Amino acid sequence: MLNREQLSEMRDVLKDVAKVGAVQVLTEIGQLKPFITKAEAYRLYGRTKVDMWIRNRLVTPRGGFGEKWRLERSELEAISASASLAAYVNSMAFKDKGVKVNLDELK
27-74 confidence digits (pLDDT tens)? 888 898 999 999 999 999 999 999 998 998 888 888 877 788 899 998
What global pTM score does this model have?
0.66
Where does 1-107 have alpha helices with state H?
4-28, 38-45, 47-55, 73-89, 92-95
List Cα–Cα distances, 78 to 66, 92, 94, in angstroms: 28, 23, 22
The 10s digit of each residue's pLDDT in 85-104 is 666 666 655 566 665 556 55
Do the strands 35-37 and 70-72 form a parallel or antiparallel pair, or are they unpaired?
antiparallel
Residue 106 has pLDDT above 60, yes or no: no
Residue 82 has pLDDT above 60, yes or no: yes
